Structure formats: structure tokens, C-alpha cells
Amino acid sequence: MAGTTVQDNNEVQDCFCQAAEITGLKVDSERINSMMGWSKKLVFQTLWSEQMGTDNQSYAPQVEQSYTRFKQILEHHYLTQSVEPTVGCLELFHGLKQQRIKIALNTGFYRTVTNIILHRLGWNQGLNSDYVGSDDTIIQVSVTPDEIYNNEGRPAPYMIQKAMYKLGIKDSKKVIHIGDTPVDLAAGMNANCLLSLAVTNGTHTREKLQQYPNHGLLNSLIELKNIIINL
């Protein structure tokens, strides 16, 4: 979501940095950016492991402290600041709906903040309690890491596979996956999607993304329409 369908001008990275500073976690913004797209708790587990090791008695409490503070900062941000779709996102959604192509959103965010964003954008309209919609809703399904066993988000393929299951799609070669981070690309590859693409106007540059296996790098979501037409 953030960086791909929802504008992110380093706000999520800033929330990580604030939480890290408050809770004594030493890390720079470049390191945090390298983990964008990950399950957010895994970011803190990884960073604290690097700082003190998992055998340290303080490891688990420090992870929870940092993650709890991060959630408070992140939720406050999305509740109080502007939330806007990325360039070309709504145009793409409209075009996909016209072609009866289903839209599934997955994310590194946990469900609470995902719901805040969906509500602020109006994308939650018509979704049921399992976050599944219909052909008439703006999106057809939303999946988060905390709905996967052991919170295993990207680069594992499970969020993509769960979205497929909820939408009754059995063939991964009928799925196009698009994100804005290296782990987005890896998740699409691991799920054996027809295409695993990334936009370069999100959290990572073209130069950074082209270092990872991919089926294409786009300037923005607008370009996805022509890719689909030419399949």
C-alpha cells in the first residue's frame, strides 16, 4: 500500500526513526528504508537482533517496546495527516474494474493501521468482515501480515496466496503483483505470479530495484494499464 497505491514521502520511515530514537534503538534511515515492505514487527526484531543479539534477556522486551511505540506513532500519523492515493492509482482501479479484473491489496502494515488507511481513502466500502468485497466495491480483498501464521509477511508468498484463496483464484499465472520494494518483487516471484513488477516512484529508486529479479519496473501505476492490454 504505502509507496505503491498510497502516497509515502518517507513518512513511514520517519515513524520508524522516531520509535527507534525514543526506545534506544540505534539505526539510520538508510537501513530502515532497506526493510520497507517487511512486516513491521520483523523490522524491529531484526534491528534489535543486530544491536544486542536474540540471546540477550532484554531482546524480546525491547522489540515489544519499540514496536508498541511505533504503532502509536504510525496510527497517529494516519489518523491526523493527509492520506492520498499515488499518481495513477485511481485511474488504474477504474480501468481494472471496467475489465472485471480483481484488485487485492496486501501490505506490511498490521490490520489496525491498514483499516485506518482504507477508511480514510474510502476503499473499505462494501468489504465484509473478512475484508472481501464484490465486483462493485473499489477493491475486492485486503490482506495483512497479522492474518498469516506467525505474521509471516513478504518476501513469503502467503499474503498473495491468501488473497487468491479468498477470491477463488487457483492459478498464480492469472495474478500480476506490483509493489515498490525489493521484498515486493521477491514475494511476487515466490508466489509464481505471471508478472512481478515494481513502481519506481515509491520508496525505492529504479537503480535500487533493478538489482533484484523482476518482470518490469514502471514509472508509476499508470503504465500497468498498457502492460495488461498487451498481454
pLDDT, tens only, 176-227: 999 999 999 999 999 999 999 999 999 899 999 999 999 999 999 999 999 9
Residues 210 and 115 in one domain: yes
| Structural domain that includes position 126 | 89-229
Q: Are 185 and 196 in contact (CB under 8 A)?
A: yes
* Residue 21: pLDDT over 90: yes
51 contacts: CB under 8 Å, gap ≥ 6: 25, 26, 27
**Residues for the chain: how many in total?**
231
> Is 74 in the same domain as 33?
yes
Helix (H) or strand (E) holding 176: strand 176-179
Is residue 116 domain-shared with residue 200, that is, in the same domain?
Answer: yes
pLDDT(29) > 90: no
Given this model, what pLDDT does residue 45 score? 94
Q: How far apart are CA 110 and CA 108, in angstroms?
A: 7
| pLDDT at position 109 | 92
Is there a single domain that holds both residue 53 and residue 144? Answer: no
Q: Residue 181: what pLDDT?
A: 94
- pTM of the predicted model as reported, rounded to 2 decimal places: 0.91
Say if residues 108 and 15 touch (Cβ distance below 8 Å): no
**5 within domain boundaries:** no
Residues 66 and 118 in one domain: no
Long-range CB contacts (within 8 A, 24+) of 129-136: 130/166, 132/166, 132/167, 135/97, 135/100
Burial of 14 (0-12, 13-18, 19+ CB in 10 A): middle
Going by C-alpha positions, the residue among 156, 63, 65, 158 that lies closest to residue 104 is 158
Confidence of residue 82 (pLDDT cuts 50, 70, 90): very high
Same domain, 55 and 137: no
The continuous run of DSSP H or E covering 199 comes out as strand 195-199
Q: Which of 55, 80, 105 is the last residue of a domain?
A: 80
| pLDDT (0 to 100) of residue 15 | 94
For residues 48 and 145, state if they share a domain.
no
Question: Do 110 and 224 have their domain in common?
Answer: yes
Q: What's the CATH number where 171 sits?
A: 3.40.50.1000
Task: Report if residue 3 sits inside a domain.
Answer: no
Count: domains in the chain: 2
Residue 23 has pLDDT above 90, yes or no: yes
User: Is residue 140 domain-shared with residue 94, that is, in the same domain?
Assistant: yes
Q: Judge whether residue 56 has pLDDT over 90.
A: yes
- Per-residue pLDDT at 170 exceeds 90: yes
One domain for residues 140 and 58: no
**Percentage of residues in the chain with pLDDT exceeding 90?**
90
- Confirm if 17 and 32 have CB atoms less than 8 A apart: yes
* Domain stop point among 59, 80, 101: 80
- Looking at residue 150, its pLDDT comes to 86
Last residue of a domain, one of 80, 98, 131: 80
